Amino acid sequence: MAANRRLRDQRWVLESAIAHDGIEFDQPRLGYYLGIVRDDLAMADRAVLARSVRTLGAFVPRVVARARHREDLALQASAAGHDVTAGTHLFAAACLWELAQWPIWETTDELRDIDAHKRSAYEAWAATADHPVLDIDIPLGSASLPATLHLPNSSRLADDRGRPPLVVSVPGMDAGRTISVARVGDPFLERGVAVLAVDGPGQHEAAIRGIHTNPQSWAAAGPAVVDAMRSRTDVDADRMVLTGVSFGSFAASWVAAHCAETFRGVAVAMPCFEPGLHTMWDTAAPTYLARHMWMAGIDDEDEFRSMASGYDLSRVVDRMTLPWFVIGGTADEVSDAAWVPRLAAAAPGPTTVVRVLGARHALTGVDEAVAPAWTSMLAD
């Protein structure tokens, strides 16, 4: 495991936080992993995991057990001829298998096995999905980024051009492409927009393949995605936009700055715009540093921090000539929120910044009556 001094020295604080607040001690991960399942068992999954995960060591086995339970239900439904129900359980299982990977911060046989289960469940669901779901690889150097292309049903197309516009979706550092698109009712697909969900450098399956995160790999990922999409006939590569969440907000904006002449715009939420992301490494939960060191493929913390100093949008903000939409909270505990208006003001292109007063990083901590519908805002 990466030599994370904070994780070693503050393990007792982390365990205390999980014992007190459970699996969502730092962010509403059950919400974004299971909210997109949208069936009548998702709330039961959330309740079981919220109740049963009270130590870091319990995280993987408890989540895996719930994933296996969903797979068992899928087998029962399939045997009875209920393919749609089976597909729903398989989608939920894939989300749970991906969730189980979160606290495994080294590429072990256990991680590879869990990821294989995730891929198997997701591919089985895709065969039953209500829209076309295509697994593709995007060449990047000597390797390839894993991606999934979701196409809207033809009845959802916004115009008569035949090929839908495309949003390239970049997940956060704790998530992967599996949860980038909802099983049903996805806000982008409902608007007639195709979604390319990508595990970018360092993210989930990409890291397992040995493609690690750093500023250079993300700069190279943009042109690789563009080239791959321009070779296709089922999407309109002249109408591409970017979206990203949390660390994906930095990555999508970084890609946009390097490919401003290609994309039509970029819309992000939960912005991580602080140069070097020092708050994330130094004051947020120590799990962020542990996970990102694995994503970077770097075991030495000093070497990692040197690499991470290159996460600096201020160096490229003068290239942001395309429209840039950002929504974030003013009480962000993961990234210094003061950098959001500062960078937006420095961008030469049109920018729209929505600041949610008092909201934390995950846009939580505010009265539910005024909480923003941020996924719909990104899609709009």
For 237-299, the DSSP string reads TTSEEEEEETHHHHHHHHHHHHTTTT-S-EEEES---SGGGHHHHHTS-HHHHHHHHHHHT--
Per-residue pLDDT of 307-347, as tens digits, reads 999 999 999 999 999 999 999 999 999 999 999 999 999 99
Q: Rounded CA gap, 63 and 114, in Å?
A: 11
Q: How confident is the model at residue 158 (pLDDT cuts 50, 70, 90)?
A: low
Percent share of the chain, pLDDT over 70: 97
Q: Helix (H, G, I), strand (E, B), or coil: what is residue 12? A: helix
Residue 155 has pLDDT above 80, yes or no: no
Q: How confident is the model at residue 292 (pLDDT cuts 50, 70, 90)?
A: very high
Residue 84 has pLDDT above 80, yes or no: yes
Residue 60 has pLDDT above 60, yes or no: yes
Contact by Cβ (8 Å): 146, 200: no
DSSP 8-state class, residue 35: T
Q: Rounded CA gap, 260 and 251, in Å?
A: 14
Q: Rounded CA gap, 18 and 21, in Å?
A: 5
Q: Rounded CA gap, 284 and 233, in Å?
A: 44
Q: Rounded CA gap, 83 and 74, in Å?
A: 8
Contact by Cβ (8 Å): 18, 56: yes
Average pLDDT over residues 9-15: 92
Q: Rounded CA gap, 288 and 272, in Å?
A: 13
Q: Rounded CA gap, 295 and 311, in Å?
A: 14
DSSP 8-state class, residue 174: T
Q: Which residue in 266, 119, 121, 141 sits closest to 204, CA to CA?
A: 119
Q: Rounded CA gap, 240 and 238, in Å?
A: 6
Residue 1 has pLDDT above 50, yes or no: no
What is the pLDDT at residue 161?
65
Per-residue pLDDT of 96-140, as tens digits, reads 999 999 999 999 999 999 999 999 999 999 999 999 999 999 999
Tally of CA atoms within 13 A in the half-sphere of 100 that contains its CB? 25
Could you identify the residue written with the tokens 């059950």?
30
Percent share of the chain, pLDDT over 90: 91
Q: Rounded CA gap, 245 and 269, in Å?
A: 5
Per-residue pLDDT of 232-261, as tens digits, reads 999 999 999 999 999 999 999 999 999 999
Contact by Cβ (8 Å): 150, 133: yes
Average pLDDT over residues 42-64: 97
Average pLDDT over residues 58-85: 98
Signed CA dihedral, 57, 58, 64, 68: sign only:
positive
Contact by Cβ (8 Å): 4, 296: no
Q: Which two tokens stand for residue 250?
A: 């930095």
Contact by Cβ (8 Å): 171, 248: yes
